[in-house]
């Protein structure tokens, strides 16, 4: 059975959102000389073919962070750029096939996407590091990065400054994903909220999940909600869990783990269950 895994939406001139069956988004940006693919999905379909149908320019692939639903498709490209803090071996795990299989959403399964669609050996993919402030020159179009460690330690936001487009990855999503595998303590988001507000000012925002849209109003609401959560808890709870504030709402809420609010001497281990998060919906 043939599945149409990827849906394509032109979101700006020479800029496309590539949606992996409602599960996650990648973004393709073309300049005069190069193309940049920001994130590369779980890789359940022929993402390279989709990109090649849109452009034949030399391609650079860079990911906002190394979760399997953003870097997993890297095996199709041979070499991808990954935030330096997430290039170590421990981040290869979530990109192995056995774990990427856990990421299939219900909607994907209903569309006929099965574990057999999850292919590729990411251990053979070359992960090159990039740092805060890295610049990708596309020819007449420049994309600059800024590290915002919160959702993950290397979480990075990409800025197309001339066109005022911002690609957030999972740094901000409608359900703020601070309850997922290897998320930093919730306080990290709060600590970086002023910088985030400043960085995002004047940009149109696109994120790694849903229809990709994030409003500035939502960002400010989430910053306020995170502060309210922290004000309610004087310390980390003993037990891991997934909670939502003010309540679960796919259009806007904060996902958090009461045991991962503040930096702790020793982070408790993560389970498959904690990784296999709400973002699958």
Shortest distance in whole angstroms from residue 170 CB to Zn ion: 4
Nearest CB to Zn ion, comparing residues 65 and 97: 65
Shortest distance in whole angstroms from residue 56 CB to Zn ion: 30
Shortest distance in whole angstroms from residue 252 CB to Zn ion: 18
Q: Candidates 60-68, 73-81, 183-191, 236-244: pick the segment binding Zn ion (CB under 5 A).
A: 60-68
Nearest CB to Zn ion, comparing residues 63 and 143: 63
Nearest CB to Zn ion, comparing residues 15 and 171: 171
Distance from C-alpha of 181 to C-alpha of 194, rounded to nearest angstrom: 24
Strand pairing class (204-206; 175-178): unpaired
How many CA atoms within 13 Å lie on the side-chain side of 12?
A: 17
Site size for Zn ion (CB under 5 A): 2
Using CB under 5 A as the binding rule, the residues of this chain from 83 to 142 that contact Zn ion are none
CA distances from 139 to 16, 39, 176, 234 (A): 17, 20, 34, 50
Per CB under 5 A, 67 contacts Zn ion: yes
User: What is the number of other CB atoms lying within 10 angstroms of the CB of residue 36?
Assistant: 24
Nearest CB to Zn ion, comparing residues 23 and 34: 23
Radius of gyration over every alpha carbon of the chain, rounded to an integer in angstroms: 18
Distance from C-alpha of 193 to C-alpha of 228, rounded to nearest angstrom: 14
Q: Candidates 15-23, 28-36, 63-71, 257-265: pick the segment binding Zn ion (CB under 5 A).
A: 63-71
Distance from C-alpha of 187 to C-alpha of 72, rounded to nearest angstrom: 28
Nearest CB to Zn ion, comparing residues 67 and 179: 67
Shortest distance in whole angstroms from residue 250 CB to Zn ion: 16
* Helix, strand or coil, per DSSP, at residue 273: helix
Q: Candidates 67-75, 124-132, 214-222, 231-239: pick the segment binding Zn ion (CB under 5 A).
A: 67-75
Per CB under 5 A, 24 contacts Zn ion: no
Nearest CB to Zn ion, comparing residues 31 and 256: 256
Those residues whose C-beta lies under 8 Å from the C-beta of residue 260, and which sit 6 or more positions away, are 178, 179, 183, 185, 186, 236, 240, 267
Q: In angstroms, how far is the first alpha carbon of the chain from the final one?
A: 23
Nearest CB to Zn ion, comparing residues 150 and 165: 150
User: What is the number of other CB atoms lying within 10 angstroms of the CB of residue 247?
Assistant: 7
Shortest distance in whole angstroms from residue 200 CB to Zn ion: 18
Q: Which of 46, 61, 40, 63 is nearest to 138 (CA)?
A: 61
Using CB under 5 A as the binding rule, the residues of this chain from 142 to 181 that contact Zn ion are 170
Shortest distance in whole angstroms from residue 151 CB to Zn ion: 6
CB 82 within 8 A of CB 66: yes
Phi, psi of 151, rounded to the nearest 5 degrees: -55, -45
Shortest distance in whole angstroms from residue 208 CB to Zn ion: 7
Q: Candidates 66-74, 131-139, 183-191, 193-201: pick the segment binding Zn ion (CB under 5 A).
A: 66-74
Shortest distance in whole angstroms from residue 269 CB to Zn ion: 18
Nearest CB to Zn ion, comparing residues 201 and 248: 248
Q: Which positions touch Zn ion (CB under 5 A)? A: 67, 170
């Amino acid at each position: 059975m043939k599945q149409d895994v990827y849906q394509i939406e032109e979101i700006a001139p020479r800029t496309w959102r590539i949606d992996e069956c409602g599960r996650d988004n990648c973004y393709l940006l073309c300049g005069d000389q190069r193309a940049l693919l920001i994130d590369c999905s779980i890789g359940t379909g022929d993402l390279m073919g989709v990109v090649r149908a849109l452009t034949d320019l030399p391609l650079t692939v860079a990911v906002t962070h190394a979760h399997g639903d953003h870097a997993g498709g890297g095996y199709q490209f041979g070499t991808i750029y990954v935030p330096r803090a997430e290039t170590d071996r421990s981040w290869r795990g979530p990109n192995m096939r056995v774990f990427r299989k856990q990421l299939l959403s219900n909607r994907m399964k209903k569309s006929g996407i099965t574990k057999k669609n999850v292919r590729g050996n990411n251990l053979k993919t070359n992960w090159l590091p990039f740092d805060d402030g890295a610049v990708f020159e596309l020819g007449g179009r420049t994309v600059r990065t800024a590290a915002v460690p919160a959702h993950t330690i290397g979480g990075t936001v990409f800025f197309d400054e001339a066109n005022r487009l911002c690609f957030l990855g999972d740094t901000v999503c409608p359900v703020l994903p601070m309850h997922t595998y290897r998320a930093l303590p919730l306080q990290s988001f709060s600590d970086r909220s002023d910088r985030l507000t400043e960085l995002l000012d004047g940009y149109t925002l696109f994120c790694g999940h849903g229809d990709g849209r994030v409003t500035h109003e939502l960002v400010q609401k989430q910053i306020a909600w995170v502060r309210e959560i922290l004000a309610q808890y004087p310390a980390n709870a003993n037990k891991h869990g997934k909670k939502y504030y003010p309540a679960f709402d796919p259009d806007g809420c904060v996902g958090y783990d009461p045991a991962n609010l503040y930096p702790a001497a020793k982070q408790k281990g993560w389970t498959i269950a904690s990784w296999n998060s709400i973002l699958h919906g």
